[in-house]
Amino acid sequence: MRYEVREKVEISAKESALIVVDMQNDFAHERGSLFVPESRKTVEPIRLLIEKFRSKNSTVIYTQDWHAEDDPEFKIWGKHAVANTWGAEIIDELKPKDGDILVKKLRYDAFYGTSLDHILRVKGVKKLVIVGTVANICVLHTAGSAALRWYEVIVPMDGISALNEEDYQFTLRQVDFLYKGTIVRSHEGITLI
C-alpha cells in the first residue's frame, strides 16, 4: 500500500504529547477477551517511547476503553474492557506513573465524550504521537479525530498493531493519505527537542 515513511522526525517536547491507545489487558494480554497477538511486539517500542516522553517532561496520555456492563458495543465485539475490571487495566509492562494522564473512553474515538481535547489545549499541545491498538479501530478513529481538530498526528510503524496485515496497512495509508499525518519507520526515529 502506498504511503510515505519518514526515518526521523524532531518534535518539541513542550508542544507534543504521546497518546497510548488501549494497551489494556483485554487487548494486549494473551488472556484478554479481544487479544490482538501483534500487540505484544509493540510493547517494548511503546515502553521506550513512554520513557522518552517522561524523560523530557513531555505529556504522556493513556486511553482506556471503559464500558458499562450492558454497553451496546458488546453486540459488535462481545464483552470487553468493562469498567473497573482486570480487562480494562493497562498491561503491567506499561503501567502509568504519577504525572501521566488517563482518559477513559466510551467508543473508538478517544475525543468522543471525553476531556481529551480540553487537556491538550490547556497544555498547548499541537502534535500527537499516537501508538497502541487496535490500529484500524481505536487508533485510527483517535488519529482521525485529532486531525479533524488540526492536531498534527505522528504514528511510528512499530507502535501500532492490528488483527491482520491488511488492517495494519490500511491504517497507515489512511493516516498518511486522508489525515496528512506522518508515518515514522520506528520509535527510534522520534526525537524530542
Interface contacts to Zn ion, rule CB under 5 A? 65, 73
Residue nearest to Zn ion (CB): 65
Shortest Å, Cβ 88 to Zn ion:
10
Q: Minimal CA–CA distance to 32: which of 85, 84, 80, 64?
A: 80
Cβ atoms of 62 and 101 within 8 Å: the answer is: yes
Q: Which is nearer to Zn ion, 65 or 109 (CB)?
A: 65
Q: Which is nearer to Zn ion, 130 or 137 (CB)?
A: 137
Nearest to 16 by CA among 135, 146, 148: 146
The least CB distance from residue 63 to Zn ion, in Å, is 11
Task: Report the C-alpha gap between 111 and 96 in whole angstroms.
Answer: 20
Contact yes or no for 9/192 (Cβ under 8 A): no
- Joined together, the cell numbers standing for residue 172 give 497507515
- Distance from C-alpha of 120 to C-alpha of 99, rounded to nearest angstrom: 14
User: Which is nearer to Zn ion, 27 or 151 (by Cβ)?
Assistant: 27
3-class secondary-structure state, position 96: coil
Residue 67: CB minimum distance to Zn ion, A: 6
Q: What is the number of other CB atoms lying within 10 angstroms of the CB of residue 164?
A: 12
Nearer to Zn ion, 88 or 154 (CB): 88
Tell me the closest approach of the beta carbon of residue 85 to Zn ion, in angstroms.
13
Instruction: Please tell me the distance from the alpha carbon of residue 118 to that of residue 116, in angstroms, as a whole number.
Output: 5
Smallest distance from Zn ion to CB 190, Å: 28
Question: For Zn ion, which is the closer residue by CB, 4 or 69?
Answer: 69
